[in-house]
Structures are given as structure tokens and as C-alpha cells.
Structure 1
Amino acid sequence: MMRLLLLLSLLALAAPLNARDSLGVFGEWGAFRDPDTPRCYAIAEAQESRARRDYQPYSSVGNWPARNLRSQVHFKLSRHLSDTPRVRLAIGAARFNLVAGAGDAWAVDAATDTAIVAAMRAAGRMSISAIDNRGNRFTDRYSLDGAATAIDAAGVGCTRSRQAR
């Protein structure tokens, strides 16, 4: 919870620059609306770790109404990835292969986004593992406490911003 409050504090300080509106904090997850883009998203930091980190890892589920995109998952991973990172997401008994860039990962398609979000709603934790640019496998772990409510708040936040226009 403290990590999320720190993340929210940092986002609040940057709010005038990035015009983000807080939609609420729910367990370990927060929900935000960025009316300039426009987009709404639920976001959480990975659990603390003593392992080496090149980036501050986070997970998000976003909506872009103007592009008709809903519940698109994105992961900022904690390390620079290898050219063949084999990124794997585990949520309860469900497993998903993801596509990746230098330090990011996404679902392979919209159907997988939907399946990942459904699994997130039903589980308490998730982890994402990959191979870093040094050839080592690493894992980022997340609590899903509050994820479903934050995802719902982000969806409602973008619906409301569309209706206000």
C-alpha cells in the first residue's frame, strides 16, 4: 500500500504536466484518467524485490476510447530484455505468452487481453517472468488486491469523459 501511495504521490506531483485525474486507490491498485489523450487506466507497481532492476516495474490495464481499445494490458518489466526474452505471465492456474520490447510486454492480441483481465479478476497474485539481456531469468510479482475495482473505475472513468463531451 505504501508503494502505491508513493506512486500516486509522484503522479500527483506530475499531474499539472501530464493532466492526470485520480479515479481512486483500491488495495494495491490505482485508477487514473488522462483527458488530454484521452485514456483511462488501472496501474500497480510490482512488489518490492532485492533483485537487480533496470526499471521500476508496473502493470497497467488501459482504455483508449478514441481508438476503441478497452482493457489493454501492459507491463513495464524490471530489466532490459534479451533479444529472445520468452516472456510468460502466470495468474493463478492460467499462463500466457506475451510479446515484448526492450523492457515492456503486452498481450499478443485483444482476445488475450480479455483473458488476462478475466484471470486478474479471479486471482490474488500474478507474476511475469522473462530472460534479461544478460541471459538470466527474472520474475516480477504483483498483488491483485484491488485490481478488479481499479480496472472497473478506469472503464467507468473513460465512459464518463466520453459522455461529458
Structure 2
Amino acid sequence: MRCYATVFALTLAIFPMPVAAKESLGIYDSWGAFRDQDVPHCYAIAESEEITGKAERKSYISVGYWPNRNIRAQIHVRLSRDRSTNSRVMVGVGGRRFQLIANRSDGWSQDKRMDAAIIAALRSANSMTVESTGRDGRPIVDAYLLRGATTAIDAASLGCSNLN
């Protein structure tokens, strides 16, 4: 129950839309899947389990679907602290590393192929890290557990399969 409350509270904080617009598609360990029919938009989301250094905000990873925009399985990460403008944002998962495109606080896959590669790695790994360097020069390391990720991602995909 604690996990459900945490994931739901995180979702409300991340996506400031009317609460009634969000429908839970399920909570799977530390991951949740949600649908907003008004947008329409579905997503799987998880908050980081641990971070290195003092967090400025909650960090999370989401896998989003926007059927009207023909966007499927888009990776997005929110860093726990603002990064230095000259530092990279790297995702480490399943023995692979991916460099994201990023602004100060967020990162996205470079293209659909990278989205697919990260999701394939998520499906077979136990954990993931998102790393960068903060404005203060200290490392940013946000760590995620992936148990439940596959089911949440599939639930989000199915949840938006008939929305247009």
C-alpha cells in the first residue's frame, strides 16, 4: 500500500493535471501505470530508490505514450538535481550505457531507436542508474529498481492502444 501511495503521489506531483483526469492502470512493485484520457496520454513511472548527494526534487523515469502525436514508449528522466550545462546525462542499464539529450533537469532518448534499446534493456535488468554532474561539480547518481517495470510499461501501452 505504501508503494501505491508513493507512486500515486509522485504522479500527482509530476503531472499537475486534474486528479479526476488520471486513471490508475495498476501498481507493479515500485512502478505504476496511469492513463489520462483528456490528453490522451498513458505512462509507466517510477521514483528513484536512492540518490547520491542531496536531492533538489524527486527524480523519476517515465515511459510515455501519446497516441494523437504518434509517440510510443518515449523515455524521460527527471534528475534529482540540476546538472552542469557541460555534463552528459547517462543511463546505465543491463550492462549498456546510453547518452540522453538533456536540459538542466530532464533527459530524453535521442530517437525512437534509443527508446526501444533502453526499454529492451529495462525488461531484462534488475536496476538502472541515471548519472550526470551537478552544477556544484558533484556527481548525480539516481538509482532505480526495475522489478515491475515490464508490466507497468505494457499496461501503459495497452491503456493507450485504443485512445485517439
> TM-score normalized by structure 2?
0.90
Partner of 1:8 in structure 2?
8
Kindly provide the CA deviation profile for residues 96-120 of structure 1, in whole angstroms up to 9, marking residues without a partner as x. Answer: 0111111001111111001001100
Equivalent residue letter for 1:30: G
Partner of 1:111 in structure 2?
113
Runs of 4+ in 1 over 3 A off after TM superposition: 1-4, 9-18
Partner of 2:143 in structure 1?
141
Give the aligned length. 162
Identity %: 43
Residue 150 of structure 1: how far off its partner (Å): 0.3
Report the CA distance shift for 1:12/1:131 in structure 2 as closer, same or farther (over 3 A).
closer
**What pairs up with 1:21-40 in 2 under 5 angstroms?**
21-40=23-42
Report the CA distance shift for 1:91/1:11 in structure 2 as closer, same or farther (over 3 A).
closer
Distance 1:48 1:125 in 2: 11
Distance 1:114 1:58 in 2: 19
* CA RMSD, 1 decimal: 2.0
Residue 9 of structure 1: how far off its partner (Å): 4.3
Tell me if the contact between 1:33 and 1:158 (Cα under 8 Å) persists in the aligned partners.
yes
1:120 to 119, 122, 126: 122
Residue 50 of structure 1: how far off its partner (Å): 6.6
Kindly provide the CA deviation profile for residues 63-98 of structure 1, in whole angstroms up to 9, marking residues without a partner as x. Answer: 000011100000000001111121111002111011
Partner of 1:161 in structure 2?
163
Residue 134 of structure 1: how far off its partner (Å): 1.0
Residue 51 of structure 1: how far off its partner (Å): 2.4
Distance 2:91 2:52 in 1: 20
Which runs of no fewer than 5 residues in structure 1 stay unpaired? Answer: none
Tell me if the contact between 2:10 and 2:47 (Cα under 8 Å) persists in the aligned partners.
no
Distance 1:67 1:117 in 2: 20
Distance 1:159 1:17 in 2: 22
Higher helix share: 1
Residue 16 of structure 1: how far off its partner (Å): 4.0
